[in-house]
Amino acid sequence: MFNSAQLISADGTRLANHRKTHLFGCFERDHFTPGTSRSSRPSSTVSGSAS
């Protein structure tokens, strides 16, 4: 199990997934597996602007 965050588009498409690599505290280390240093995303480019 991973502590993860996902970027989802307005239409519900998963654009990117990031698994936390640096676990903090006993709870996270006991319950989660560290991710790799690379986030996964589909081959298309994720773009946009912040509001």
Q: Which of 3-7, 29-33, 44-48 has the lowest mean pLDDT?
A: 44-48
Is 46 inside any structural domain?
no
Q: Please provide the size of the chain in residues.
A: 51
pLDDT at 49 over 70: no
CA distance 41 to 4: 13
**Is 2 a residue whose pLDDT tops 60?**
yes
Domains: count for the chain: 1
DSSP β-bridge partners for residue 16: 7
Residue 45 lies in a domain: no
Under the banding of pLDDT at 50, 70 and 90, the label for residue 50 is very low
Tell me the one-letter amino acid at 45. Answer: T
What tens digit of pLDDT does each residue of 6-32 get?
999 999 999 998 888 788 888 888 888
Which DSSP string corresponds to 1-51? ---EEEEE-TTS-EEEEEE-SS--HHHHHHH-----SS-B--SSPP-----
Range of the domain at 13: 1-39
Q: What is the pTM of this model?
A: 0.47
